[in-house]
Amino acid sequence: DQQVKQNSPSLSVQEGRISILNCDYTNSMFDYFLWYKKYPAEGPTFLISISSIKDKNEDGRFTVFLNKSAKHLSLHIVPSQPGDSAVYFCAASELVKLTFGGGTRVLVKP
């Protein structure tokens, strides 16, 4: 029973274009949603988050949108850069625990 799902295992985008990553969840008790970025042989690093009471949060090239009624969130990266090539994990927080999705591998082509 996956509470957090990322249905696209991979995404390829041209440098300078927009990358859109999607995430769905089932648990209405999640209070924060986070995106993590992971390079090979490294631990995940925090990218951006959004509270369950908001619908948008922006940080530079990264914007996260939350649609609570649809239990859906997305991460927009604009413009995409080659250094953004990595695996992106969606995660959701309930009290002290963080539940992760399966990840989306993003490849930004120069």
Interface ranges with another protein (CB under 8 A) = 4, 6, 9, 31-32, 34, 41-46, 49, 51, 89, 93, 96-103
Compute the least distance from the CB of residue 54 to another protein, in Å: 11
Q: Closest separation between CB of residue 68 and another protein, Å? A: 17
CB nearer to another protein: pick between 13 and 89:
89
Nearest to another protein of 46, 72 (CB atom): 46
- Cα–Cα distance measured from residue 102 to residue 90, given in angstroms and rounded to the nearest whole number: 8
Q: What phi and psi, each to the nearest 5 degrees, are found at residue 22? A: -115, 155
Q: Which residues contact 8 (CB under 8 A, 6 or more apart)?
A: 21, 22, 104
Q: How far is the CB of 98 from another protein (least distance, A)?
A: 6
